[in-house]
Structure 1
Amino acid sequence: MNDSIDYYLEIGLFNKDEKKFYNKAIDYTEKAIELAREKKNNSKLTECYLQLATIYYDIEKNDLAIDYYIRAINGYNKNFPLTNLALSYYGLGKCYLRKDNIRVAEIYFEKAALLYKKLNFTEAIELINLQKGIIQKEKKNYSESKKIIQSVVNKLEDDAFSSTKTEAFFQLGEIEMKQNEYAKAILFYKKALEINEKNNVDVESKKKLFKQLSEAHEKNKNNFEAFTYLKKFTRLNDSIEKTFINYDSENMIDKSQFDEQLKTIEQLDKEKKSQQKTLRFSKLISILSIALISILSLLSLSLYRNNKIRISTNKLLKEKNKELLAEKERTELASKARADFLSTVSHELRTPLNAINGITYLLLQEKPKASQLNYLKSLEFSGNYLLNFINDILEINRLESDKVVIEKIDFNLIELTENIVNSFQEFIHENNINCHLDIDKSINYNLKGDPTKLSQILINLLNNAIKFSVNGDVWLTIKQKNETHNGIVTLYFEVKDNGIGIPKEKQKAIFDSFSQGSVEINRTYGGTGLGLSIVKKILELVNSEIHLTSEFGEGSTFSFELIFEKGANKIIKEDAENYLNIFTSKKILLVEDNKINQMITQKMLEKVAIDCKIIDNGEDAIEDIKVNNYDLILMDVHLPGINGTEATTEIRKFNSTIPIIALTAISLNENREMLLSFGMNEVITKPFEPKHFYKIIAQYLTNPLLSDS
């Protein structure tokens, strides 16, 4: 099996490096990942993640590259080669540098440099130093940048490290260009070109140098030299012109054929003189000659016109291509702006919302007066509604990006559906619904797939069915459609109701974002209008589709099919834990700068007999942990001074066992894997739901070994 993993890795690498077939490279590497997971071979799985990260970096899918570099880093331990870990840190640095996040790029380059120094890997160390010089150039610290890059040049030999040294001289030339020192820039570019040609580094690098030399000479008023280097660049780059030349040569009259025709005419003339042919025959020869010349002239004219048309068309295509590229860049900038806006707004909304939901929960626990209870229940409903609305908007944006990863883990379908239906019991009771759960009895095994995505689909469909079927019935039906010999099963899911139904003219638009059929429906039943849009996008991600059958006033039926693998063992249900016995006499450090969040979290901890100490910044928290013992740390991610991730990194240098749980109003730019990579053990999202909050804390207080996993 290991041979098969290595085989797929090698084929993927060959398609990436030699053939530049990136889609095939991704396919073969993912096959290697699948085999490594089946075999539970963590060392090979980590190697696969690293290779997939480098492929995504090469095709400029930076977010996916970051995700797989982090997975690779999380998989490394003391038994793995330090070179791979260093390469992962270096790759992350390059990704964040490309995303203009210079601060994070510097952190990862420094981590990689420390490991390469341990390995005494000279070229890698200097390559990282070169990246540091480039960072200083981006910051416009040109003097510091030149100092760093010149040091790289002085330490490397031309023959041994030609690629790195070529890039170093190129970057020195770029700095001089930015400072309008064109003569100096030309010297550096020529030095880079000399090393490139001597060691045959690569064609792309040579093309880049020809282009910059042409531009530098033009800026320096050396027009002849500028033109010379531009011609060299064109010879390497202009493949379109080669196509035209080849096309023209195919359409030209064969020269040997033309010469043969001339010889024939000359022979006819000789025969005419020798045989004293009549004047009439001579005139015929003349006419034929004129006709041939006319044909050749017309053909030449036609070829000339075709060339002009091709050149004109090519110019037009190039202009249109520039317009399309500019439009693509504008679209990408708009998409990034929207994502950044949603990220900022969601974070800023979650922080006060945490205060609203937290204070409401605490007041409800203090046995309020009957007159106050309705107000608090209304406040609780409004807070939860707003939180669901924010989550739906973020989920739509995440599904439209390339950040969604489909999991493949074991889960129990019956347990999952029962839990979902039970979570709706209060809503079912409020709407006086008869809820019918019908699961095929032959599905008595576990499944392997993505239970989170399935839960999102069923929760959205059941929520709509219950909401629009007051005093009616709702059916959830699951049937096995077929099963293959190798354990692949296809299941049919159906959510049916006998509620208000959907008019025919509204059924196509019902899956669009913020669509609910009509303004009256929105006012009567509420909701965001995002649920069915989320369902549709999730099913598209897993190569399925949603089907709707509905008549106005007679209810609706939503159905879909999903493919799963059969799972291995039964999943054991967890028993409810006695949290109060677990929490008594425990000591927790809360690192949080927001005063309201401090008060809410402290009250929730003291309510279950946990002793809580509060520190409002990362620096003081680090010093306090050095001298005091705690059972667990709750660490806010966004702190003044050094943030929560940086504080966690410092704590792990002297304490690797204490559980550290991140508290964050998580945004689109953050993810659980990224936070865990800094040494945190778990993430709780603000505003946190109390039962989930207590459950996570209880898990790490009862089983400290979780912090080592």
Structure 2
Amino acid sequence: MKKILILFYFITLFSFSQEKKVPQDSIDYYLELASFNAEDKLQTEKAIKYTNKAISFAKNIKNELKLHDSYYFLGTIYYQNNKFEDAIFYFIRCTNFYQSNKLITAKLAKSYYSLGLCYLAKNKINLANTYFNKSYDIYNNLNISDALQLVELQKGLSLKAAKKYDEALSIFKRIGTQNADYENAKLEAYFQVSAIYSIQKKYSHAYSAIKKAFDIAEKNNNSLAKNKILNQLIFLAEKNDDFKSANQYLKKIIQQKDKPLSSNEEYILDKKDYDNQLDLVEKLEREKKDQIKSIRFSRLISILSIALISILSLLSFSLYKNNKIRNNTYRLLQEKNKELTEQKEKAEQASKARAEFLSTVSHELRTPLNAINGITYLLLQEKPKVSQLNYLKSLEFSGNYLLNFINDILEINRLESNTVQVEKINFNIIELIANIKQSFNEFIQKNNVNFQTEIDLEGNEYLIGDPTKLSQILINLINNAIKFTKNGDVLLKIGTTKTDDKNITLSFVIKDTGIGIPDDKIANIFDSFTQGSVEINRTFGGTGLGLSIVKKIIELLGSDIKLESIQGKGSTFSFDLVFEKSPLLENETIKSKEENNLDCLKDKKVLLVEDNKINQMITKKMVENKGMICTIIDNGEDAITEMAKNDYDLVLMDVHLPGINGTEATEQIRTFNNHTPIIALTAISLNENREMLLSFGMNDVITKPFEPEHFYKVIASYLTNN
């Protein structure tokens, strides 16, 4: 009998392996431990510890989906412990990942829902509603009706908290009258309708709604809800002079064994139960899909199981014999895995510390460098003496060199931290190449270089892709080619290798006749801070980061770079990139250029919110040089007051301010002013990103120290239609 049971065990094991192959890795193991400890608030630290181990393991095996599932669970733990800022950080990471990978599933909807709960807890009602609406739209598209009820209910509660009673009533009434079987949602909806009518002193309407809630509670034998509803019924019966009914409801309370609760409870049902319902909905959806797969495999499994019985019988004996050896080996592997995991965590911590240090240094250098570059620019605009011009040009060169160095450090840290996202926007590659070539004119003349371009796009000059990253690649490679080629030739060749109705693959070749790269240096030439030799660094300068940045960006774009070089004869760098074809017309490009005409800046009123006196002086001067009228505020609190009293065409908002910072000030301004453009001024660091700043209501971001042309171009783009 025992042998038969063992045999059927292996048949069952094989059957399930055909239906669904689930790897038994440490991610699920640690998440199970985290979930177990998260149920007890005293064990929160353990729950966070196990979740971080799951995150570490997911990173190790490069399982992005499991990694962001772990991030979501960590956000949930922080939310349950009222650490809403930490929870928001991880939920946003999840939404960004699911969106960028086009995973429009219940997971994305649940992440938006969780963000709504966090902002609702922070009393940021508008933001909460925004995320509830996003969650609702996804659940609606997925046709998950139960989840729609929950999200609708939360939207109603947030509107009630914002005292938008008419809108809240509309939602609660719609939930109460729907034909869906979700009785708990209907019960809560009628209770909230009664609560709102009580606030509005419409006691007859409130009495009618609470009786409907009581009928649902009676039908479902919900004693907890009945206790709360009975207290409200007594209160409203008395308000409507129905003392006979009030007495009857009082008797029912006495009959209830549970202790009555006060009538001013905000929610009649346990809020956590609603949150858990979303997990249940997602689980049911997965089970439905698994059942479909199971039916498809069942016939095949029935046929194969008979043929496999004899084979599995022989294998069972062998497995039993080797069981002890396998267990010992497994224990050894577990110990080794633990040691490797600890070493990996230490290495990641060291890498993170290095990145944060370099990021902090880069960030802190930007503020004084903004003063240096800004003052230099202003002095050059004021027609200095000939004797002073060379000094100012030298200062401008040194400032730009230091800025490029800082930018390279920050860029390599961003690329290594995997926080960079690829954009998809329309651009004209012919114009982009022309602008790059023009920017090198002075350098080309200085080194006496014959710079040529050969471009064959087969008529596809308008593309969809990331022009910023393409510019970074080409600028770094062309700069190196010109720098290491004096009195020689540099060629940029762009050709079409593949094309169809939607996409085009372009080949890029940058070839020079310069000093070349020694054979023993080629293997490491793309490493950070690496150049051919110390002598080359002293002779030609540079950070040694350019080629490392190029390689990482090209890999981010889904390609790789090739290098051929002969010392003393020159080097050739080549790579391929895929772009989408764009329907953009030439007149649209011309229109875009016309919109950036700086004549629109004259007499515009600008509010500058900046606490640094030197930056105040520089920015105000640059603004006034174009005919704009500038008012300075040095803190966030006064900026909010000023915007409430006066009208401005544009706000330049420093992010790091004393007291209320720039993001918080913007968020408060947006509660009463949604039309005035607000542009962030920031010495942006590794931990900041454009999307995060825009989420607070800012329209654009200008990085310090800013280039004057870019500064004016961004401002003009928002003042053109004002």
Q: TM-score interval w.r.t. the shorter chain?
A: 0.5 to 0.7
Cα gap change, 1:465 to 1:673, in 2 (>3 Å): same
Cα distance in structure 1, aligned partners of 2:596 and 2:502: 39
* Alpha-carbon distance change, 249 to 540 in structure 1, aligned in 2, over 3 angstroms: closer
Structure 2 counterpart of 1:514? 529
For residues 524 and 247 of structure 1, the distance between their equivalents in structure 2, rounded to whole angstroms, comes to: 75
Pick the aligned partner of 2:115 from 88, 91, 97. 91
The aligned residue for residue 611 of structure 1 is: 629
Q: How does 1:534-613 map onto structure 2 within 5 Å? A: 534-571=549-586, 572-573=589-590, 574-575=592-593, 581-613=599-631
Q: For 1:562-615, what per-residue CA distance to the aligned partner results, in whole angstroms no more than 9, with x for missing partners?
A: 222322233424446786632222211100011111111111112222211111
Residue type of the alignment partner of 1:646: E
- Partner of 1:161, secondary structure, is helix
The more displaced of 567-576 and 413-422 is 567-576
User: Aligned partner of 1:538: which letter?
Assistant: I
The amino acid of 1:91's aligned partner reads L
Deviation at 1:434, TM superposition (A): 1.4
Number of matched pairs = 493
- Residue in structure 2 matched with residue 129 of structure 1 by the alignment: none
Retained in 2: the 8 A contact 1:93–1:108? no
Structure 1 pair 104/435, CA: closer, same or farther in 2 (3 Å)?
farther
In the aligned structure 2, how far is the partner of 1:668 from the partner of 1:405? 14
d(CA) in 1 for partners of 2:608 and 2:185?
Answer: 44
Give yes or no for the alignment of 1:366 onto 2:382.
Answer: yes
Amino acid at match of 2:520: E
Give the match's secondary structure for 2:611.
coil
Look at both structures and tell me which one has the larger radius of gyration over its CA atoms: 1
Q: By how many angstroms is 1:248 displaced?
A: 12
Cα distance between partner residues in 1 of 2:356 and 2:124? 19
Q: Is the Cα–Cα contact under 8 Å of residues 592 and 615 in structure 1 kept in the other structure?
A: yes
Query: Residue 591 and residue 553 in structure 1: after superposition, are their counterparts in 2 closer, same or farther (change >3 A)?
Result: same
Instruction: Give the Cα separation in 1 of the matches to 2:537 and 2:413.
Output: 22
2:717 to 696, 699, 703: 699
Q: Counterpart of 1:538 in 2: which secondary structure?
A: helix
Indicate yes or no: 2:273 matched with 1:161.
yes
- 1:105 Cα shift? 12
Aligned positions of 1:32-51 closer than 5 A: none
Matches within 5 A, 1:283-322: 303=321, 308-322=324-338
Whether the aligned pair in 1 keeps the contact of 2:640 and 2:665 (CA below 8 Å) is yes
Give me the whole-angstrom Cα distance separating, in 2, the residues matched to 1:669 and 1:160: 32
| Residue in 1 that maps onto 2:495 | 479
Partner of 1:493: 508
Unmatched tracts of structure 1, length 5 or more: 1-17, 22-52, 75-82, 97-101, 127-149, 168-195, 203-245, 254-301, 705-709
Q: 2:45 — aligned with what?
A: none
Map of 1:434 onto structure 2 = 450
Counterpart contact for 2:610–2:635, Cα < 8 Å:
yes
Note if contact 2:477-2:547 (Cα within 8 Å) is conserved in structure 1.
Answer: yes
1:56–1:65 CA contact under 8 A, matched in 2: no
CA distance in structure 2 between the aligned counterparts of 1:153 and 1:164, rounded to whole angstroms: 21
d(CA) in 1 for partners of 2:658 and 2:271?
A: 49
In the TM superposition, residue 441 of structure 1 has moved relative to its aligned partner by: 5.9
Asked if the contact 2:91/2:114 (under 8 Å) is kept, the reply is: no
Q: Counterparts in 2 of 1:176-255, with a 5 A limit?
A: 250-251=316-317
Quick check: 2:94–2:111 contact (8 Å CA) kept in 1? Answer: no
- Corresponding residue of 2:300: none
Does residue 1:446 correspond to 2:462, yes or no?
A: yes
Alignment partner, residue 405 of structure 1: 421
Is residue 416 of structure 1 aligned with residue 432 of structure 2?
A: yes
Residue number in structure 1 paired with 2:69: 58
CA distance in 1, matches of 2:641, 2:393: 42
The 3-state SS of whatever aligns with 2:508 is strand
Letter in 2 for 1:88: Y
Pairwise CA distance, 1:373? 1.5
Provide the rounded CA distance (Å) in 2 between the counterparts of 1:494 and 1:643: 46
| Higher mean C-alpha deviation, range 687-696 or range 409-418 | 409-418
Deviation at 1:354, TM superposition (A): 0.6
For residues 616-661 of structure 1, what are the alpha-carbon distances to aligned partners after superposition, in whole Å with 9 as ceiling and x for unaligned?
1010111111111211111011111111111111111111111111
**TM-score normalised over the length of structure 2:** 0.61
1:667 deviation in Å? 1.0
1:675 to 2:693 alignment: yes
Q: Match for 1:501: what amino acid?
A: G
State how far apart, in whole Å, the 2-side matches of 1:247 and 1:612 are: 87
Query: Amino acid of the residue matched to residue 112 of structure 2?
Result: S
Counterpart in 1 of 2:702?
A: 684
Please name the residue that 2:292 is paired with: none
**Structural mapping, 1:25-174, within 5 Å:** 57-60=68-71, 66-67=92-93, 69=95, 88=112, 90-91=114-115, 116-118=157-159, 161=273
Q: Identity across aligned pairs (percent)?
A: 59
Q: 2:369 aligns with which of 353, 358, 362?
A: 353
AA in 1 matched with 2:671:
K
Q: Is 2:95–2:111's contact at 8 Å kept on the other side of the alignment?
A: no
Q: 1:452 is matched by which residue type in structure 2?
A: T
- Tell me if structure 2 keeps the 8 A contact 1:516–1:529: yes
Change in Cα spacing, 1:65 to 1:84, as seen in structure 2 (3 Å) is closer
What residue is the counterpart of 1:339 in the other structure?
Answer: 355
Pairwise CA distance, 1:517: 0.3
Q: Which residue of 2 aligns with 1:622?
A: 640
One-letter amino acid matched to 1:650: Q
Q: Does the 8 A contact of 1:494 with 1:559 survive in 2?
A: yes
Provide the secondary structure at the position in 2 that maps to 1:432.
coil
CA distance in 2, matches of 1:543, 1:84: 25
Answer whether contact 1:86 1:115 (CA < 8 A) is retained. no
Query: Structure 1 residue 521: deviation in Å?
Result: 0.5
Which stretch shows the higher mean deviation, 102-111 or 693-702? 102-111
The alpha-carbon deviation at position 665 of structure 1 amounts to 0.6
Describe the shift of the 1:65–1:539 C-alpha distance in structure 2 as closer, same or farther (beyond 3 A): farther
Which secondary structure does the structure 2 equivalent of 1:60 belong to? Answer: helix
- Structure-2 change in CA distance of 1:313 and 1:152 (3 Å): farther
1:445 touches 1:570 (CA, 8 Å); kept in 2? no
Letter in 1 for 2:467: P
Task: Please name the residue that 2:196 is paired with.
Answer: none
Return the TM-score normalized by structure 1. Answer: 0.62
1:456 has 2:456 as partner: no
Separation (CA, whole Å) in 1 of partners of 2:271 and 2:511: 72
Equivalent residue letter for 2:626: V
Distance 1:650 1:157, change over 3 A: closer
SS in 1 for 2:652: strand
Q: Is 1:660 the counterpart of 2:678 in the alignment?
A: yes
Distance 2:99 2:673 in 1: 20
Q: Name the CA distance, whole Å, in 2 between partners of 1:437 and 1:693.
A: 30
Partner of 1:520, secondary structure, is helix
Contact 1:70 1:677 in 2 (8 A): no
Can you list the C-alpha shifts for 1:262-310, whole angstroms capped at 9, x where unaligned?
xxxxxxxxxxxxxxxxxxxxxxxxxxxxxxxxxxxxxxxx95xx55544
Call closer, same or farther: CA 1:401–1:606 in 2, change over 3 Å.
same
Match among 462, 471, 484 for residue 468 of structure 1: 484
The Cα shift of 1:152 comes to: 14
* Structure 2 residue matching 1:403: 3-state secondary structure: coil
CA shift at 1:54, angstroms? Answer: 9.6
Deviation (angstroms), 1:404 = 2.1
1:632 equivalent to 2:650? Answer yes
Q: Residue 58 and residue 160 in structure 1: after superposition, are their counterparts in 2 closer, same or farther (change >3 A)?
A: closer
Secondary structure, aligned partner of 1:460? helix
